[in-house]
Amino acid sequence: MAVEKRREGETIVLRLSNGPVNALSAGNGFVDQIAAAVDEAAGDPACRVIVIAGAGRMFCGGADIGDFDGAPTQVSRVRDVIAAVEACEKPVIMAIHGMALGGGLELAMAGHYRIAQAGSRLGLPEVTLGLLPGAGGTQRLPRLIGAGAALDMMLSGKPVTAEQAASSGLVDRLVDGDVVEAALEVARGAPPLRRTGALPVPVDLAEAVDARRAKLRAGLSQAPARIVDCVAALSDDLAAGLALEARLFGELMRSEASRGLRHAFFGERTVARIPGLAADVRPRDIRRVGVVGGGLMGTGIALALLNAGVPVTMVELRAEALSKAEAAIRKTIQRDVEKGRIGQDAADARMAAFTPATELEALAEADLVIEAVFEDMGVKKQVFSALDAITRPDAILASNTSTLDLDAIAALVADPSRVVGLHFFSPANIMRLLEVVRGRDTAPDVLATAMALGKRIGKVGVVSGVCDGFIGNRMFEEYLRQVYFLLEEGALPQQIDAAMERWGMAMGPCRTMDLAGHDIGWAIRKRRAVEQPDRPYSGVIDRICELGRFGQKSGKGIYVYPDGRTAQPDPEITRLIEDYSAEIGLQRRAIGDEEIVGRCLLALVNEGAHILEEGIAYHPVDIDMIYLHGYGFGRERGGPMFQADLMGLPAVLDRLRALAAGRNGWAWTPAPLIERLAATGGRFGDLDFQDGNAQ
């Protein structure tokens, strides 16, 4: 951590050096070092110009998000150093390479001249954290590039290229070579002071504000609306605009949405680290992957791999099904060409990396094989027994099972240490979650390889232990149990779905199951009836399945689908549900949205606590990331365990006990972990589970 200083004639070059992203950290004193270095250079009579650049691979990745939960003065110190740069009486040239994001770009905009290296990227991504640019970005960016372009940049949170920045006026000069040398060249010409905050209010202000305000959508995060408010307040009084920006930033920082989004930001980094894994464990080199099964899931997995540049051999024993899978893969890749996402050369390369085969022997030289056949233990055991004989002894064998016992599958292999679970979520080429299941004997380097492959193909990998349903589906089962009980007690599918979607789920549970298909769930419930007779489901969902209504794929499920895609309530299902309630002697009652959301959420929380205590998940945040990336849980809501902390675990425990005293109370027995944490004032967020044990 340092601000490196060197003198070049009458110019002082300050290089920011604070970790891999040069974060503007106030908590560790780095921001104060920048302020001191700028002040010293400004007071040096031999210095005429100051150049600020970044060491390492980027100019600055932005403010340290960890500071946001610290004392408010930490954020204020970032604002102070930016203001000091702009007020400097000597020209300050910003030499930008790599990335200038968030507070890093706000620092750059306070400079009097900006030079960017070709290929670098500049952006204000604060909206993705439920925040607004809080160090002058809302007041300075519109003055540089116009209100409309500035609003688009801040509301999307997406960075622009250096070339786009030069075209818009965000940077003054674009260079191909060394950006510091280019800055020194400009310094020798004694550039004039040009303070961004003194530039005039953009002429398109009113029109741009009205247009963007009209497009705002309702949501938990108020960041987009507050960004528009800040830009609307632009005037010749910069101080007033900065004061409004700082006040609104503080309000947003304390909001549930921003806290949830920041939780997700850190959570994605936490789950990438495997607790207890020795530092010298390295992932294996994966050059070719085999996929067994050409159905919907196998096709999606193959696409995910091909899109990341991983060669794939797909084995589907039925030639007709293999041809169908290959056609689907080709069609999807070509659609990316038509939409401008990739070029034709890239599409051709992806198809060239795809090898279809109808014999398992084609996988003899694969480095890793992913089984994606029907969710039936007998079928999977046959596949793994065959793969054990065909593949190289050092090849990794992975199962895409969503519920079955991975250890039982691994027992069919002579060396079970090479078996791991890779549970993709459908559609596998789109959904970001990858549950990486560690078996009892899974080797550490096999687990590391699975996580590395997930990252390579753009997935958020989360490690789960072995249990029925692993983390995600085991919890989802309890969620659905309450959904089906709610149906028989008085709610209707469209009410449940609307309540959960308004709260923040991407799709309500009934529509979700119609999309996924009820046949697999029905088979699981039949198995559960034998294995867990003391944990019954509502029979209403089975009555629907008995009619052959398996969801969107059959044209009918809980809803009907006249156009094959759009769910519409069906009076026949309403009658079926009402008749079932009468059949079991249950008087239907009015059920409010609050009860629907509360019961669904508490079912997830309680089961999640059981999973943590059993060591199936390493951290509470693992559960949250699974639900954000695999089950459509609203990112702004942070995840079920995060929500439990917001409610307060004593309140969660009280609600669980109240529900346990009512109908089907057996399903609400509080997890012992919740009881312990509630008694001690603990939070899930304070827990750090290492190898399944609370530390």
Q: What is the pLDDT of residues 512-534, one digit of tens each?
A: 999 989 988 888 888 888 888 88
What's the whole-number mean pLDDT along residues 216-239?
96
Helices (H), 308-376: 319-338, 344-352
Active-site residue identified among 86, 106, 268, 478: 106
Select from 611, 606, 634, 636 the least CA-distant residue to 622: 611
SS3 content of the chain, % helix, strand, coil (to 5): 50, 15, 35
- Say how far apart CA 334 and CA 330 lie, in whole Å: 6
**Residue 223 pLDDT:** 98
Binning pLDDT at 50, 70 and 90, where does residue 1 land? low
What's the whole-number mean pLDDT along residues 642-652?
98
Interacting residues of 485 by C-beta distance below 8 A, sequence separation 6+: 538, 663, 664
**Residue 174 pLDDT:** 97
Q: What is the pLDDT of residues 43-52, one digit of tens each?
A: 999 999 999 9
Q: Tell me what the pLDDT averaged over the chain comes to.
A: 95
Q: Please compute Rg for the chain using Cα positions.
A: 28
Contact 559, 567 (CB under 8 A): yes
- The pTM assigned to this predicted structure is 0.93
Buried residues in 230-264 as b, exposed as e (16+ CB within 10 A): bbbbbeeebeebbebbbebbeebbebbbbbbbbbb
Q: Is 572 a catalytic residue?
A: no
**Residue 273 pLDDT:** 92
Pairing of strands 419-424, 433-437: antiparallel
pLDDT of residue 339 exceeding 70, the answer is yes
Task: Output the six-digit token pair for 327.
Answer: 């056609």
Strands lying side by side in the sheet with 2-8:
2-8, 11-17, 49-54, 92-96, 113-117, 173-175
Listed by start position, the domains of the chain span 3-254, 289-466, 472-686
Which residue's entry shows tokens 């009892």?
440
**Residue 375 pLDDT:** 86
In Å, what is the CA distance from 695 to each residue of 588, 613, 672, 692?
46, 12, 16, 9
Total residues belonging to the chain: 695
Active-site residue identified among 4, 86, 126, 181: 126
**Residue 690 pLDDT:** 41
Q: What is the pLDDT of residues 557-606, one digit of tens each?
A: 999 999 989 999 999 999 999 999 999 999 999 999 999 999 999 999 99
What's the whole-number mean pLDDT along residues 298-315?
98
What's the whole-number mean pLDDT along residues 138-166?
98
At 469, the amino acid letter reads: G
- Say how far apart CA 50 and CA 13 lie, in whole Å: 6
Binning pLDDT at 50, 70 and 90, where does residue 152 land? very high
For 472-686, the fitting CATH number among 1.20.140.10, 1.10.1040.50, 1.20.1090.10, 1.10.443.10 is 1.10.1040.50
CATH superfamily of 289-466: NAD(P)-binding Rossmann-like Domain (3.40.50.720)
**Residue 426 pLDDT:** 87
pLDDT of residue 224 exceeding 60, the answer is yes
**Residue 529 pLDDT:** 85
What's the whole-number mean pLDDT along residues 342-362?
97
Q: What is the pLDDT of residues 398-410, one digit of tens each?
A: 999 998 999 999 9
Q: What is the pLDDT of residues 367-381, one digit of tens each?
A: 999 999 988 899 999
Contact 483, 496 (CB under 8 A): yes
Interacting residues of 191 by C-beta distance below 8 A, sequence separation 6+: 49, 91, 93, 112, 113
What's the whole-number mean pLDDT along residues 61-65?
89
What's the whole-number mean pLDDT along residues 86-115?
97
pLDDT of residue 75 exceeding 90, the answer is no
Contact 480, 509 (CB under 8 A): yes
Q: What is the pLDDT of residues 267-287, one digit of tens each?
A: 999 999 999 899 999 999 999
Binning pLDDT at 50, 70 and 90, where does residue 688 land? low
Interacting residues of 423 by C-beta distance below 8 A, sequence separation 6+: 400, 401, 402, 434, 435, 436, 437, 464, 470, 472
Select from 43, 642, 454, 514 the least CA-distant residue to 633: 642
Q: Is 106 a catalytic residue?
A: yes
Secondary structure class of 116 (helix, strand, coil): strand
Considering the segment(s) 3-254 as one domain, its CATH architecture is Alpha-Beta Complex (3.90)
Q: What percent of the chain has pLDDT over 90?
A: 89
Q: What are phi and psi of 568, to 5 degrees?
A: -130, 135
Residue 622, Cβ density class (10 Å: 0-12 exposed, 13-18 middle, ≥19 buried): buried
Q: What is the pLDDT of residues 437-490, one digit of tens each?
A: 999 999 999 999 999 999 999 999 999 999 999 999 999 999 999 999 999 999
What's the whole-number mean pLDDT along residues 411-437?
96
